[in-house]
């Protein structure tokens, strides 16, 4: 492609309303333009990237045996009523009425439509397993769309849905999708982690999210420094500390601690590390037959955070997990939340594994304005119920027993999920089994945020000059910049020849034939993020040389003109 033939709409100024770097750079590089809140048009340069992502996703889904279909954006309400989601789904589901006042919605996802389609098409267990995908426009009416295409209202998604006769078959397709996703994000050139994700009520290891690691990510990912273990911080197991709990050395003491409530205040008051303290949180238990909810104490080390998901899964705890109100605490204990401690507490008490390993620790005295020091389990307070109820922290041992956990931020770009029979049961999607009896199909679903991948690639790959695209999804792989092309016939000829040769080799090349100063061209190419740049000028040609620069390199390299193809094929293997 010639630069004169494609809209290069670069902008110098950083747009005021773009908070994250990918949004800023996509606007500045002329990849997207905002149409309305959460709605973006893709300009030619941006669309080239989007299409490359789509192609890689499509190739790997095909290779994994999934079949491509295309379902409508507009979906009838009836199906959502059948699944129960018409009522459950919040305002993100954009509901619309057609000219005949029939209810429809813009599809945020297609479980209902595919389940309806497949229950009518597949009749026998012999037709299973089957996996269907589409790459298609979706709409979610986000209350606060932001970060450009990262969290837009209209976006491009690859969604797939698989159908099975039994759990083993679902697991096999799930594993195949896990591999396909790994290939996809590897081919996209991204630093990513498949992380164990929450499955809600389903349990087991039936869900993985694929995260692109980037500072700006909204999720915390815990992963091992020595294995491929990775999980959402909420999901990572905090192993019990190694070894025996240290023996008690201090005596129990009650200390007046006026105005001391938070862990920071306790540490300051006693001049001790937070790991030497424990905190006690009260939450509500499930309602008894009279509707009464008992209080339950959760004890954590002072430097650890309660993990809501883990705590909520404990038997007898009310969901959603809710911290007790101050008035309920005062009524039960006679003190405020800053003075609670496990000693003498007449409540069910769940102690986190790490807190249970503490000795000589400090805690609230259940007496307003007092703390206990030198507290020891068993000696001063019984240790009845131990559980993992905290978030892991950097430095924790990896739950798979290999290495130490690191924590980084991630952007969720993919999700694979064992749906089970949630939709197939509600919508009566059955096949006849070997015995000729109706059997409900088991389902899996597999999504990739195609347009979000583009933004996340930028979040992970950028510098102060612009975008640093991976080769596989750059809008162009190579930029040829002829110097003084308008005047030097020799430069023009060399540039045109190289352009044709590289295109013939199958490379995606931009010939910058614009009548602009070299500095303008260089800046544009760096902002747009084309990975390989070849400059052709009269001075170099005198010596038979061109100039090569990789977008990530500091300096130019001299490149003998006759070696270009070999040089490039080494840098850009296909």
Query: What residues numbered 32-61 form the site for a copy of itself, per CB under 8 A?
Result: 33, 35-36, 39-44, 47, 50
Query: What residues numbered 71-100 form the site for a copy of itself, per CB under 8 A?
Result: 71-76, 78, 91-92, 94, 96, 98-99
Min CB(571)–a copy of itself separation in Å: 26
Cβ nearer to a copy of itself, comparing 102 with 543: 102
Inter-axis angle of helices 44-63 and 167-187, nearest 10: 140
Q: How far apart are CA 72 and CA 137, in angstroms?
A: 9
Cβ nearer to a copy of itself, comparing 327 with 574: 574
Min CB(136)–a copy of itself separation in Å: 8
3-state secondary structure of 62: helix
Exposure string of 186-207, with b = 16+ CB inside 10 Å and e = fewer, is ebbbbebbbbbbebeeeeeebb
Residue 523 binds a copy of itself (CB under 8 A): no
Structure tokens at 56: 């890689």
HEC readout, 256-296: ECCCCCCHHHHHHHHCCCHHHEEEEEEEEEEECCCCCEEEE
Residue from 69, 387, 426, 561 binding a copy of itself (CB under 8 A): 69
The residue assigned the tokens 């023009």 is 492
Residue 106 binds a copy of itself (CB under 8 A): yes
Min CB(471)–a copy of itself separation in Å: 21
Cβ nearer to a copy of itself, comparing 153 with 353: 153
Q: How far apart are CA 464 and CA 542, in angstroms?
A: 34
Inter-axis angle of helices 450-460 and 44-63, nearest 10: 110
Q: What is the DSSP letter of 151?
A: B
Cβ nearer to a copy of itself, comparing 133 with 229: 133
Cβ nearer to a copy of itself, comparing 136 with 265: 136
Query: What residues numbered 401-420 form the site for a copy of itself, per CB under 8 A?
Result: none
End-to-end Cα spacing for the chain: 20
Question: What is each CA distance from 342 to 166, 278, 318, 454, 510, in whole angstroms?
Answer: 47, 9, 21, 50, 69
Query: What residues numbered 149-168 form the site for a copy of itself, per CB under 8 A?
Result: 153-154
Site mask, a copy of itself, residues 109-148, x = CB under 8 A? Answer: ----x--xx--xx--------x-x---xx-x-x-x-----
Cβ nearer to a copy of itself, comparing 33 with 492: 33
Neighbouring residues of 136: CB distance < 8 A, sequence distance ≥ 6: 70, 71, 73, 110, 156, 157, 159
Q: Is 543 exposed, middle or buried (0-12, 13-18, 19+ CB in 10 A)?
A: exposed
Cβ nearer to a copy of itself, comparing 62 with 286: 62
Cβ nearer to a copy of itself, comparing 99 with 574: 99
Residue 15 binds a copy of itself (CB under 8 A): no
Min CB(114)–a copy of itself separation in Å: 8
Q: Can you spell out the DSSP letters for 419-463?
A: EETHHHHHTT-EEE-TTS-EEEPEEEEEEEEHHHHHHHHHHHSEE
Site mask, a copy of itself, residues 16-35, x = CB under 8 A? Answer: -----------------x-x
| Chain contacts with a copy of itself (rule: CB under 8 A) | 5-7, 9, 33, 35-36, 39-44, 47, 50, 65, 67-76, 78, 91-92, 94, 96, 98-99, 104, 106, 113, 116-117, 120-121, 130, 132, 136-137, 139, 141, 143, 153-154
């Amino acid at each position: 492609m010639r630069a004169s033939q494609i809209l290069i709409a670069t902008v110098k100024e950083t747009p005021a309303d773009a908070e994250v770097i990918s949004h800023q750079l996509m606007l500045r590089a002329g990849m997207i333009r905002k149409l309305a809140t959460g709605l973006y048009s893709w300009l030619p340069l941006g669309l080239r990237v989007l299409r490359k992502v789509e192609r890689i996703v499509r190739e790997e889904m095909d290779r994994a045996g999934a079949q491509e279909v295309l379902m409508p954006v507009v979906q009838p309400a009836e199906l959502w009523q059948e699944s129960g989601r018409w009522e459950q789904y919040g305002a993100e589901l954009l509901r619309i009425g057609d000219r005949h006042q029939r209810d429809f919605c813009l599809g945020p996802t297609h479980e209902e439509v595919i389940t309806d389609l497949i229950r009518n098409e597949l009749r026998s267990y012999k037709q299973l397993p089957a996996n269907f995908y589409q790459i298609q426009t979706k709409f979610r009416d986000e209350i606060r769309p932001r970060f450009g295409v990262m969290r837009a209202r209209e976006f491009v998604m690859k969604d797939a849905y698989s159908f099975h006769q039994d759990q083993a078959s679902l697991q096999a397709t799930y594993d195949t999708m896990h591999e396909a996703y790994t290939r996809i994000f590897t081919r996209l050139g991204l630093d990513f982690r498949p992380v164990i994700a929450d499955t809600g009520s389903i349990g087991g290891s039936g869900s993985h999210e694929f995260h692109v690691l980037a500072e700006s990510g909204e999720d915390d990912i815990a992963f091992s420094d020595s294995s491929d273990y990775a999980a959402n911080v909420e999901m990572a197991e905090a192993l019990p500390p190694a070894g025996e709990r240290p023996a008690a050395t201090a005596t129990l003491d009650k200390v007046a601690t006026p105005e001391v409530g938070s862990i920071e205040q306790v540490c300051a008051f006693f001049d001790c590390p937070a790991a030497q303290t424990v905190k006690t949180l009260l939450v509500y238990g499930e309602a008894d037959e009279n509707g009464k909810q008992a209080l339950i104490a959760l004890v954590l080390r002072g430097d650890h955070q309660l993990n809501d998901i883990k705590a909520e899964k404990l038997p007898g705890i009310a969901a959603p997990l809710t911290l007790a109100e101050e008035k309920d605490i005062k009524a039960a204990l006679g003190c405020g939340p800053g003075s609670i401690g496990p000693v003498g507490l007449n409540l069910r008490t769940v102690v986190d594994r790490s807190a249970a390993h503490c000795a000589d620790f400090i805690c609230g005295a259940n007496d307003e304005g007092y703390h206990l020091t030198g507290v020891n389990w068993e000696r001063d307070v019984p240790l009845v119920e131990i559980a993992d109820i905290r978030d892991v922290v950097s430095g924790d041992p990896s739950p798979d027993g290999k290495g130490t956990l690191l924590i980084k931020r991630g952007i969720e770009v993919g999700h694979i999920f064992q749906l089970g029979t949630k939709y197939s049961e509600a919508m009566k999607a059955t096949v006849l089994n070997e015995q000729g009896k109706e059997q409900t199909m088991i389902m899996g679903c597999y999504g990739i945020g195609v347009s979000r991948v583009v933004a996340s690639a930028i979040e992970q790959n950028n510098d102060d000059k612009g975008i640093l695209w991976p080769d596989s999804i750059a809008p162009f792989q190579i930029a040829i910049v002829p110097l003084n092309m308008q005047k030097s016939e020799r430069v023009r000829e060399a540039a045109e020849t190289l352009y044709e040769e590289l295109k013939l080799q199958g490379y995606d090349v931009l010939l910058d034939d614009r009548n602009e100063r070299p500095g303008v061209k260089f800046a544009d190419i760096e902002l747009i993020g084309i990975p390989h740049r070849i400059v052709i000028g009269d001075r170099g040609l005198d010596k038979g040389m061109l100039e090569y620069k990789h977008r990530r390199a500091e300096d130019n390299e001299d490149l003998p003109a006759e070696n270009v193809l070999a040089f490039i094929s080494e840098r850009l293997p296909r």
